[in-house]
Amino acid sequence: MNRRTALVALGGAVVGATATGAGVEVTQAATRPGPHDPLPFYGGFASAIRPDLGRPGRAGSGIVWRADRADRAVALTFDDGPRPDWTPRVLEALAAEEVPATFFVKGVNVRDHGALHKDSIGHHEIGNHTWDHPDLARLDLAACTDQITRTTEAIHAAYGILPVLFRPPYGHVGGSAVLAAAQAGLTTVFWSAQFREDRYTDHPAGIVDDVADTVHPGAIVLGHDTGPTVRLVAIDNLRGIIGRLKGMGYSFHTVSELLSGARPTPGG
Ligand SMILES: [Zn+2]
């Protein structure tokens, strides 16, 4: 059996298993459809309908890329921490500039390094970034729900708060991730600008100009407080980035604050 035949056979098995009510695990394990193979109707990663066809736990929830506001307000976000390598540096820069930010944390890192944010609560915002950063677009509802629930529990245990925001790793979602976040009562937050560190490895200070060129009123800006060393371009220049934006008249907010101040603008 060549690869194509195997994929078609798997696709057929998936649909058959789903249609006859077989377990979600069968669907999950077998799902790797080719570009023209059918996706499983329910129980797989693509569907935002519950596999049991039941009523969703909540009526709905929001998905945002930016805030709809005309004033020069911005939210900086930092993903994948907390980690001892850069999280303290980011917190120091934010404190020195006296601006808040939003940290989308991994549950496993909160478990292992949660104390790094011991002074963040009430100033910075903490959002859910899954337990260990899988590609949710490939996971079914049960797996997506587990990733979100475990992380919210870790955040609550460490900081005594319940997050209201969720950021999917890589910006990847399938229907199952959308439904899992909605049922958890979380607003899904993507971004509308980001630190493009890899463009400025040869001239790191250039990232300041780049951010100044790409940020816009209501922007949600993606950054990271851990990861590959190329991202140090942004960490090393964070105060410069913030200072430039301040000079342009920007104010800094947590994502929830940015969204709560949103007002519809003509043309959106
Ligand atoms: Zn991430």
pLDDT in tens, 156-175: 999 999 999 999 999 999 99
Q: What digits encode the pLDDT tens for the residues 46-68?
A: 999 999 999 999 999 999 999 99
Write out the residue range of the structural domain in which residue 238 sits: 63-260
In a domain, 247, yes or no: yes
Report yes or no on 99 lying in a domain.
yes
CA of 2 to the centre of ligand 1 (A): 35
- Structural domain count of the chain: 1
If you measure from the C-alpha of residue 105 to the centroid of ligand 1, how many angstroms do you get, rounded to a whole number? 8
Residue 111 lies in a domain: yes
pTM: 0.86
In a domain, 23, yes or no: no
Known catalytic membership, residue 79: yes
In CATH, what number is assigned to the domain containing residue 174?
3.20.20.370
Please report which confidence band the pLDDT of residue 268 belongs to, taking 50, 70 and 90 as the band edges: very low
Answer yes or no: 113 catalytic: no
- Quote the pLDDT of residue 178: 98
Measured in Å, residue 188 CA sits from the centre of ligand 1 at 13
Strands (E), the chain: 63-64, 73-79, 102-105, 125-128, 165-166, 187-189, 193-194, 219-224, 251-252
177 C-alpha to ligand 1 centroid (Å): 15
Whether residue 78 has pLDDT greater than 60: yes
100 in any annotated domain = yes
pLDDT 10s digits, 191-220: 999 999 999 989 899 999 999 999 999 999
In this prediction, residue 27 has a pLDDT band, given cuts at 50, 70 and 90, of very low
Instruction: Single out the catalytic residue among 79, 80, 210, 225.
Output: 79
Q: In whole numbers, what is the pLDDT of the chain averaged over residues? A: 88
- Candidates 124, 129, 224, 253; catalytic one: 224
Flag whether 28 is in a domain. no
Q: Is residue 23 over pLDDT 80? A: no
Task: Write out the two tokens for 32.
Answer: 């790797």
Residue 115 inside a domain? The answer is yes
pLDDT at 261: 85
Residue with tokens 């709560």: 260
Ligand 1 centre to CA of 80 (Å) is 5
The reply to whether 25 falls in a domain is: no
